[in-house]
Structure 1
Amino acid sequence: MMNKEVISDKQAISIVVLFMSGTSTMLMLALDAYGDFWLAIIFAVVIALFTTFIFSQLHGIYPEKDFFDMCEACFGKSLGKVICILYIYFIIEEATAVLINTKQFITETTMPETPQTIVIIPLMLLCVWAVKSGIEVIGKWSELSMIIFVSLIIIMGILLIPQMELDNFEPILYKGIKPVLKGTLSAFTFPFGEIVMLAMVFSNFKTKKSAYKVYMLGIFISGIIALMTSITTILVLGIDIATTSYFPVFNAASGIDIGDFIQRLEIIAALIGVIGAFLKNSILLLAVCKGITKIFHLTNYHLMIIPVSLLIINYSNILVDSRMRFVEWNEKAWSYYAVVFELFIPMIMLLIATIKKGAMDSMRKQQ
């Protein structure tokens, strides 16, 4: 059942873009690089394009298999299952972080008196419905929402032009190369390196070359969106305010003021964030359910949707207790071990898969 779900290239690209750009537009990427944030984002996209090559190659070597199947094929059943379990926890942690970010965003910007758990229950119910419907329905929804999503970002950027000040840009490498490298790692691990999670739900592409097209075009478009929103935010707020704000893009959008007529349109930024959060958590929930199904050899991943959803909701209430702790956890912990799952293990997998494929091709020639 799981392997029969097929989506078009356009739908898959839409999923990649919304997954990468959705929740990241609530924040701002590569702020560790200060004024060189744009340089760090470009470097992060370049590294991400390399990872897209890795996953595209793996899809070519193991057609009609998802990332969990590839793990077992590369590392063997025993070690492969152990690595899959580690990845499942990694995804659960990311899904929890997305949920925490979303509920903190909603309560701190628009509904401060509402309990955070009450805010996220409707969102998770929508995610449960989407995952039960399958990747094909998610793909169709993404194709439609992509138009709305990109249009809202463009509209927000245009409306903020009167508030922009070019003096807010700093000289290149004003603080040296070290902040740029740190910002590059931060921007790569969130969100561009998370393409590994999409490889867990993508298995059937239209053609053999579809994986390259979907991943690379999706990352490229996501990179442009990240640059647009980040540059707009810095030009409006300045680097000092952006680095001290929890939700700088939202704060920038609240500054929209054209002729005392068009004002307070931060709802645009809120809508962009909620659309992205819904899609991202749906994909992460689907990935966890598929992974558990593969490990325990279940026949249907639908059985795991409700239990995993409840687990993520509860975990979001205990992982961190404040926005400050959440930001600190992301800055000091996430990037340094996320890069292992997003880059180093996939590189090892491609190396092993290439060697195995070469050995099998040699054996066939000898026969």
Structure 2
Amino acid sequence: MPANPFDRRCEIRGLRADRLRRCRHAYVRSQAGPPRFEPGQGQGDVRRAPAAGRLPHVDRERMAAQLLLLRYGHSRIRPGGRLLVRIFQLERVNCLKNAITPTQAAILLFVFLTGSSIINIPAPLIATSGTGSWICLLAAGAAGLLLLIPLVSLARRYPETSYVQYVSKLLGKPLAFAILFVFLLYQIHMVAAIVMDIAMFLKSSMMRATYYTVFIVFTFLASACTVRIGLGKFVGMFGLLMLSVMIFIVFITILSSVRYDWHFLLPVAEDGIKPLLHGTYFVFGFPFGEVVLFTMILPFVHLRPSDRIGRKLALAVLLNMASLIMVTLATILTFGPLAGERKYSMFEVSRTIEMTELFQRIEALMGYSMIVASFMKASIVLFISNATLNGLLGLPVDNRQLIFPLTLLCAVISITVGMRGEANWNFIVSGIHPLWGILGSVLPFLVVYLVSLFRRGRKVRAGSP
């Protein structure tokens, strides 16, 4: 049994000592300064080490070396030292476990935006904006598309660097800590809210005699176990699950079309522009403003100059906008003036479908879609909050030791909110959450982007002849 903990971790992961020695000698031969790894040095041993997958690019060693320097600093890593070699091997295994492609990032963004918004958006939006709800969705979606410009720009300017790291670099640690602490609280509130919404839906629509706590505990347990397996693993699973969810939603929308009354779409903006502005504010705060949270996901995406990740993310936002417009119009066309009072709108729409005796309980498909979509979004936000907490504490961004304590905190918050009643919950979703999202994530993110532009412009002027 090795006494050194790094030796033991390497032994557990199947990394043989002779491979580590060969890697070490290759790094010693590189240079005496801060370690820089060239694509041809030590790759033979690293490629034979067991890993969860392969990164889709050549400079795998250089990426891992940059991550090591950012996390541990130059003082703790000696060129060619044993600690460097072992940490390098372990970090590469973790990077492979969490690495995703730009296409997977776009799928994850669509799952993230569509998740709980299909449940919560139509009813309060229709109650606020009436038949002009689709206009609010178009305006808020356009604002969400504009947010992708600074998002992708910062990701390319600071490759493989998380939001926590470049905020600290641009604004300084004291101000960055205050901004990121509010950012973390917003994420914790979001996770607790999503799971609480699953519990309220199950209790009010299916299992009225069951306590909220049962649904909350089991949902959080499933989300925590999902996050622990790594980002690269559950992204593929979420893509298939989201495909089934969208198929069921389109299927229910088509079946309910026989009851549509197209006169319910008129008049548009009967009460003026103020309800439309209110609805746009609500929909921008939830879900389009939540795009900012993907600043913690993009460091796990390998970005090449030829990758069109901006277009792929924009396509994900457009598909989300189209799906929300579809379910909102289906609710208006089915219920008319009463659409704003129908909570869990698509579930209520599915209950109006009457077919032959061959098809019974069609609403079960919508129930499945709502639960699965919300579960996927809760898992994504839990992963983001864990990465943010690790960054605040100075731990590696893919550290998994804090997942279960963080999950316990979110579960306690969800149970506490459930005890205050459904009316208080509706106020939180429609009033507090959009405001918190705009003030706690969107505005600080835009400030960071403006500071980065100012810094770059100042460097360009200083370097000009």
Which TM-score applies when normalising by structure 2? 0.75
Relative to structure 1, is the Cα distance of residues 291 and 28 closer, same or farther in structure 2, using a 3 angstrom cutoff? closer
Higher mean Cα deviation, 135-144 or 86-95? 135-144
CA contact (8 A) 2:223 2:379 kept: yes
Higher mean Cα deviation, 205-214 or 95-104? 205-214
CA contact (8 A) 1:189 1:342 kept: no
CA contact (8 A) 2:159 2:303 kept: no
| Distance in 1 (alpha carbons) for counterparts of 2:439 and 2:312 | 23
Could you tell me how far 1:341 is from its partner in structure 2? 2.9
Q: Verify: 1:327 aligned to 2:426, yes or no.
A: yes
CA contact (8 A) 2:155 2:298 kept: no
Question: Superposed, which structure 2 residues align to 1:8-23 within 5 Å?
Answer: 8-23=101-116
CA RMSD for the aligned pairs? Answer: 1.8
- 1:24 corresponds to which of 114, 117, 123: 117
- 2:276 corresponds to which of 172, 177, 180: 180
Higher mean Cα deviation, 223-232 or 66-75? 66-75
| Distance in 2 (alpha carbons) for counterparts of 1:98 and 1:225 | 19
CA contact (8 A) 1:7 1:206 kept: no
| Distance in 2 (alpha carbons) for counterparts of 1:10 and 1:156 | 28
| Distance in 2 (alpha carbons) for counterparts of 1:210 and 1:345 | 26
- 1:221 corresponds to which of 316, 319, 322: 319
CA contact (8 A) 1:71 1:80 kept: yes
Relative to structure 1, is the Cα distance of residues 42 and 49 closer, same or farther in structure 2, using a 3 angstrom cutoff? same
CA contact (8 A) 1:56 1:215 kept: no
Whichever residue aligns with residue 436 of structure 2, its letter is Y
Question: Superposed, which structure 2 residues align to 1:153-302 within 5 Å?
Answer: 153-203=249-299, 204-208=301-305, 209-238=307-336, 240-299=337-396, 301-302=399-400
- 2:415 corresponds to which of 317, 338, 345: 317
| Distance in 1 (alpha carbons) for counterparts of 2:444 and 2:188 | 18
Could you tell me how far 1:39 is from its partner in structure 2? 0.5
| Distance in 1 (alpha carbons) for counterparts of 2:365 and 2:421 | 25
- 1:132 corresponds to which of 219, 224, 228: 228
Higher mean Cα deviation, 297-306 or 55-64? 297-306
Whichever residue aligns with residue 218 of structure 1, its letter is A
Could you tell me how far 1:60 is from its partner in structure 2? 1.7
Q: Which residue is 1:347 aligned to?
A: 446
The answer to which structure, 1 or 2, has the higher relative contact order (CA under 8 A, 6+ apart) is 1
CA contact (8 A) 2:162 2:296 kept: yes
Whichever residue aligns with residue 78 of structure 1, its letter is P
Identity %: 20
Could you tell me how far 1:202 is from its partner in structure 2? 2.4
Whichever residue aligns with residue 225 of structure 2, its letter is W
Query: What SS is found at the alignment partner of 2:400?
Result: helix
Relative to structure 1, is the Cα distance of residues 143 and 332 closer, same or farther in structure 2, using a 3 angstrom cutoff? closer
Query: What SS is found at the alignment partner of 2:296?
Result: coil
Unaligned runs of 5+ in 1: none
Query: What SS is found at the alignment partner of 2:417?
Result: coil
Whichever residue aligns with residue 319 of structure 1, its letter is V
- Matched positions, count: 365
- 1:53 corresponds to which of 144, 149, 152: 149
Unaligned runs of 5+ in 2: 1-90
Query: What SS is found at the alignment partner of 1:258?
Result: coil
CA contact (8 A) 1:44 1:192 kept: yes
- 2:241 corresponds to which of 129, 145, 150: 145
| Distance in 2 (alpha carbons) for counterparts of 1:283 and 1:194 | 12
* Greater Rg over alpha carbons, structure: 2
